[in-house]
Structure 1
C-alpha cells in the first residue's frame, strides 16, 4: 500500500511541477480568451465566496432552470453540480484534475517529461530558473523525507532486500515517476528501516502501557545456516475495548537458542524492555516435547522471584496446540511410511499421463467406485496433504489392485493389510485434521475454543487404546502416548478457559471428564473447581477502581442484555450520589453475599447460537462482574496456539524455522527491526485498506 501512496505522491508532483504549472497557466489563459456564452458569474449578494481551489479549473454553466453543471476550463468536459436544492459537491471534480483524468493534464505531463530530459546535455544538468508557484491543493507537495519513509515501509512490509535501492531498473522506474527523488544508498535505507521500527515501537509501548490486564507470551525458535539462532517473542492481550490482539515484541539473536538459559534470559530482557515485569501471565512454548520439561522448570525458577505467578505457577507454561497436532500426525504417518511411499508412487503412476488417468477412471467405473474424491499428490512437509492423498487413494484401493493385474508397468499396489492400516490411520488423522481446521477458521482464537477440540481427541484415542482390534489399539497407543502428555500438562488451562465461556461454564467440564475418566471424574472436576475459586480469590485481593452503582440508561440496557434502547448521553456528574456508592462498597464487604464467581456459575447457560461473541458478552457484563471480567480477560487471552489467525497450522510448530541466507547476513538489530516492524505495520489503516479506498480518502 505504501508503494501506491508513493506513486500517487509522485504523480501529483508532476501536476504541481513549475514547468507543468506554467504550461497549464498558458493553456487556461488561451481557454479563457475564447467566448463562452453559457458561463454564469456566481452572484455575490448573500452568498459565501467559493474557497475551494477546484474553481480555478472549473466554471459553472446553467443547463435548464435550476440545473447547473461544472465545466473544466482545460478539456471542456462537464460534470453534474446542482439540480435544484441538491448539490453534487466537488469530490468528483477534484479527482478529474488530481488523478489525471483530464486529457489536457496528461498532455502537460508528457511535455513536462520532455522538458526535463532536454535539460541534460553532455552530462551537465541545467538548473531551471527558480520561481515561486502557487501549490495546487489537489496533491501533496513533494517531500523527500516522507518518500524515503514510505520506501522503507514498502521494503519492510513486502520483505524486499535493502539493496533493491541499487537496482538499475528500480532506479529508472522511480526517476520516471519523480525525477527529484534522491535514492538513498543501502546504509541510509537501513537507517530508515530502524527509524520506522523505533517510531512504531514507541506507539506500541504506549498501547501496552494502558492495558488493564496482563499479557501472555508466545515463543518461537528460528535457526540460521550458522550456529546462531533467533528467539521470537509475541504478546497476546485483550484491550480496553475487549478486542484480542497479538503483536511481535522481540526477535533477538542468541548464540544457543536451545540451551536452558536462553529462553529465560531473552524473556527477562523483553519484560524489562517493554516495562511488563508485573504483567506476565502465561508463556506458550514452541519446542519439541523432550525439552519441554527442562524449559518449564527453568522458566519458573528464573521468573518466579520477579513475577507473582498465579496459582503458584500452574498456568505459567502452556504448550502449543498446533505443535501437538502436528507431532502426533507426523508420527503416525511415519509409522506406515512404507505404505505411504507405495501409495504416493501409485498416484504418480496414474497421473503421469492423461492416457493412464483415463484408463484408471474406466477401471474405477467398471468396478463401481463412485469416484467422489480426486487423486492428488501430497507435500511431504504438510501432513494434511498426506492425509488427503491417503483418504482419496483409500476409495480407489480396488482399482489399484486391478490395475496391477492388467498393467505390467505398475507393481506398487498396497496389500490388503496395508489398506487396512491406511484406513485406521485415516480415521484418527481425520480427528486431527478437522480440529485444526476448526481452530484456523476461528477469527478470534480465544483460549476457550480449544477445550472442546482437545477433550474429543483425548476421548477417542483413550477408547481406541482398549480396542479388541490389535491393529487399531497399536496405532492408537502411539498417538495417545504423546497427546495424553499434552492433555495432562494443559487440561487445567483449557478447562479454566472454557469455564469463562458462559455457554459451558463448569457443565462441559463435568460432562467431558465423566466421558474420559469415568468413575474418577469427580476428583478431576474438583481440581478445576478448586483452581477457579483459588484464582478468583487472587483477583479479589488485587485493587479495583470504584465501580459506581449509577449507570446511564444505555449501559443499563447492555447489562440486562437489551441492546435495543436508544443511546442516551451519559451524565458526567452521575446522579450526585457518589457518597452513597462509597457507602455501598464499604457495607458490601461486611455482608455474607455470594461472590461474583458463584453467581456466574449458578446462572443459566447462555444459548449456543451461531456467531456468539464471547468477548462482546464479557464487555456487556463488565459492570455486573467487575472482578470476574478482569480474570476472564487474562484467561481468554492465553495463546493456546502460537499459530495466529489466518495462518496454516499444518506443518507449523514441529521444529525451528530457518532464517534465509540474506537475512542471516544482516546485523541482528536490523533483522529484529524488519520482523517486528512488518508485524506492526500490517495493522495500520494505510496497509489494510484497498488501493481504491485509499485514493478515495486522499485529502486534496
Structure 2
C-alpha cells in the first residue's frame, strides 16, 4: 500500500490505497512491473543496486524506506506535519485533531439526497431565503467541498418545502385525531411588510405523556376586506379539515382582533356539532398579555411628555465621552452608585421603558445637578414631572411583575395566571386608599381596566388554580375574601358551584372521556348455602333494629364523596415547591381519574397568544422581508413545518439586553 503524496523511487508492485489522503496522488493499480493509472506528477525511478527500496515525499523530498514490514505509518505521520504541503483534506485533518471516526474519509461516497434533505431542514429551521442556494458565495463554498454537488434552484427548494409540509401535516393530523382529551386554540394576527394580513391558529393540548404541546395548525391569508362571518367560517373549516371540531374547549385571542360576532358564530357552529363543554360558557378567553399591555400603555401615556425628557436626557449623556464624564462627576457628588447604570429603552417593549425609568429615577439628583453645571443640558424633567414618574413607575411595576411571571414559567396556564393577577389586583386596590390624590387617581384608572378582565374571566382562572395541588379551593376562597370582604363568600361559592358543574362532564361517559371503571361486585362463586346470612341468627324483633342500620348504609351510598371532593380534602403541597403540575396529575391519574381528565383539559388552556419572549412587546406579529415576498401557501408551509419540527422560531434576533445595556459600557468618542 502506498500513501498518497509520496513517489516511488523504484519500479515496484503496489496496491491501490483507497483510503489515501485527499489532495495527494495515489497509484490506482499495478500490473507486473508497469504502473497503471499513476498520476502525471509521479515519477518512477529504477532501484539503485545494493540499496533498499525507498519512497520520497513529492513536496519536500524527504525519503523513507518502502517495504511491507515497515508499513506506511511513518509516511502518514510525515504528511501530517509536512511544511511544504499545499493542500489538505478537511475530513482527515479533523479526524486527526479530534481522534474521531465520525467524519468520512476521502473515499466516502457523497449522498446527494441526504445533502438535499439536510440543506432543506436548515432552510426551514433558520428561516433562510430560498435564493440562499443561488448566492454565488454559498455555491462556491459548497462546490469546493464537493465539486460534483448537484445544486438546485430556489424553485426546487420551494417544491421540497411543500413536499415536507405535506408529509409532516399527515403526521400531525394523526397525532391530533389520536388524542382523547380536549384541545385549546389561540388565534393571532400577523402582518407582512406589504400590510397583508394573516391569521395564525395554534393548538394547545396535554399529550398522552402529560406534556403540554403547542403546535401551529394553520397560517392563513385574510383577503381584504374580510368580515366576521368569513373569519368564523374559515376557522371552523380548518378545524373540520384537521378532524378536531368535536374536541375544542376554548379559543384565546386578542379581543381587538376577534370581536364578539365571529366568536358567537364560531361557538354556534361548534355547539351544533356538540363540540363544546358547558355549552361554550368558557369558549372565548381574551389574551391576558394583551390586556396588560393595553393597561401599561395607557399608563405610560399619562407621563408621555416626562418620558420624552428622560429619553432625551439619556441620549444627551451618551452623546460624548465628555458629557458622560461630566454626568459621572454629578453622580459622585450626589453620593450615588455609578454601577447602577443608565439604560435606554425600545419604545414598543414597555418592560424596557420601565427599566429605563427605574434607573433614571435612581439618578434623579445627578440629572438635576447636571442641569446646574452644564448649560447645554436643558431637558431635565421638573420636580413635579419627577414625582409623577416615580408614582407611575411604582404602579406599573405591578404589571411588570405579572409579565415576568409569564415569561419565566414553563406553562402559561391558569394556575400561573390567577395568583399573579390576584396580586396585581390587590396591590392596586390598596393604592386606591392612598393619601396622595395623584397616586390614588392613577391607581383607580388602572384598576378599573383590570377589573373588567378579572370579573369576566375569574371563574375559569379560579378553576385552573384549584387544580394545582399547591393552591386548591382554599386559596381561591382566601383570595376573594381578601379582595371583596364579606362579598367574597358569595363569589367563592359561585366558583365552587361552577367547578362541580363542570366536573359532572367528566363523571358522565362521553366519547372524549373514558367511562369510570365499574365497581366489581362478588359473583356467584362467592356465595355458598353452607354459610348463614348474618340476620338468620336473630329473631324478627331483633331484625327490626338492624333495618335501621341498613337504611343508614343506603344513605351512605349517596353521601359518598366524589373524586373532586376527595382531592380537595387532601392536604395541599408546599406552595413554594417547584411542582410540575401536569406531571403531578400523570402520577395521580389512577387515584383520581375523573379529576385528572378534567385537569388535562383545563391546564392546557392558554391565557395568552404571545410567546414568552414577546410578553412585554406591543408591536404585534410581523413577517420578515423574505416571508413577506412569498405566496400565502408557501408562507404557511414554512411556518407550520418549522413549528412542528423545531418549535419556536430560532431565527437570529438582536437581544433586548444588547439594545438596552448600560450606556456607560459604550465607547463614545469626543
Instruction: Report the TM range for the smaller structure's normalisation.
Output: 0.7 to 0.9
Q: 1:444 Cα deviation (Å)?
A: 3.1
Aligned residues: 560
Q: 1:474 Cα deviation (Å)?
A: 2.1
Residue in structure 2 matching 1:383, options 333, 345, 350: 350
Mapped contact 2:202–2:214 kept (Cα < 8 A) = yes
Asked if 1:192 is matched to 2:160, the reply is yes
Mapped contact 1:193–1:674 kept (Cα < 8 A) = yes
Residue 328 (structure 2) aligns with: 361
After superposition, the C-alpha distances for 1:336-377 in whole angstroms (9 at most, x for unaligned) are 110000111111112222222222222222233345621111
Shift in CA distance, 72/315, structure 1 to aligned 2, threshold 3 Å:
farther
Residue in structure 2 matching 1:511, options 454, 474, 478: 478
Shift in CA distance, 578/145, structure 1 to aligned 2, threshold 3 Å:
farther
After superposition, the C-alpha distances for 1:306-355 in whole angstroms (9 at most, x for unaligned) are 34322222211111121122111111111211000011111111222222
Name the SS for the 2:332 alignment partner.
Answer: helix
Name the SS for the 2:606 alignment partner.
Answer: coil
Alignment of 1:645-684 (within 5 A): 645=612, 647-651=613-617, 654=618, 656-682=620-646
Shift in CA distance, 214/362, structure 1 to aligned 2, threshold 3 Å:
same
Asked if 1:165 is matched to 2:139, the reply is no
Q: 1:545 Cα deviation (Å)?
A: 4.3
Residue 233 (structure 1) aligns with: 201
Residue 215 (structure 1) aligns with: 183
Q: Tell me which structure has the larger Cα radius of gyration.
A: 2
Residue 350 (structure 1) aligns with: 317
Alignment of 1:127-526 (within 5 A): 141-226=109-194, 228-256=196-224, 259-288=227-256, 292-371=259-338, 373-526=340-493
How far apart, CA to CA, are the structure 1 residues paired with 2:206 and 2:266?
24
Compute the RMSD of aligned alpha carbons: 3.8
Name the SS for the 2:574 alignment partner.
Answer: coil
Q: 1:448 Cα deviation (Å)?
A: 0.9
Asked if 1:600 is matched to 2:528, the reply is no
Mapped contact 2:252–2:609 kept (Cα < 8 A) = yes
After superposition, the C-alpha distances for 1:258-315 in whole angstroms (9 at most, x for unaligned) are 74234322321221121101111111103428x6434433432343223432222221
Shift in CA distance, 20/600, structure 1 to aligned 2, threshold 3 Å:
farther
Name the SS for the 2:567 alignment partner.
Answer: helix
Range with bigger deviation, 200-209 or 451-460? 200-209
Name the SS for the 1:251 alignment partner.
Answer: strand
Shift in CA distance, 509/181, structure 1 to aligned 2, threshold 3 Å:
same
Q: 1:643 Cα deviation (Å)?
A: 2.5
Q: 1:17 Cα deviation (Å)?
A: 11
Residue 667 (structure 2) aligns with: none
Mapped contact 2:508–2:515 kept (Cα < 8 A) = no
Q: 1:413 Cα deviation (Å)?
A: 1.4
Mapped contact 1:196–1:677 kept (Cα < 8 A) = yes
Shift in CA distance, 178/536, structure 1 to aligned 2, threshold 3 Å:
same
Mapped contact 1:371–1:395 kept (Cα < 8 A) = no
Shift in CA distance, 471/181, structure 1 to aligned 2, threshold 3 Å:
same
Residue 579 (structure 2) aligns with: 612
Mapped contact 1:234–1:250 kept (Cα < 8 A) = yes
Mapped contact 1:288–1:655 kept (Cα < 8 A) = no
Give the TM-score taking structure 1 as reference length: 0.73
Mapped contact 2:342–2:359 kept (Cα < 8 A) = yes
Shift in CA distance, 641/21, structure 1 to aligned 2, threshold 3 Å:
farther
How far apart, CA to CA, are the structure 1 residues paired with 2:429 and 2:645?
45
Range with bigger deviation, 250-259 or 626-635? 250-259
How far apart, CA to CA, are the structure 2 residues paired with 1:372 and 1:622?
52
Residue 49 (structure 2) aligns with: none
Give the TM-score taking structure 2 as reference length: 0.76
Mapped contact 1:75–1:104 kept (Cα < 8 A) = no
Residue 7 (structure 2) aligns with: none
After superposition, the C-alpha distances for 1:386-405 in whole angstroms (9 at most, x for unaligned) are 11111111112222222222
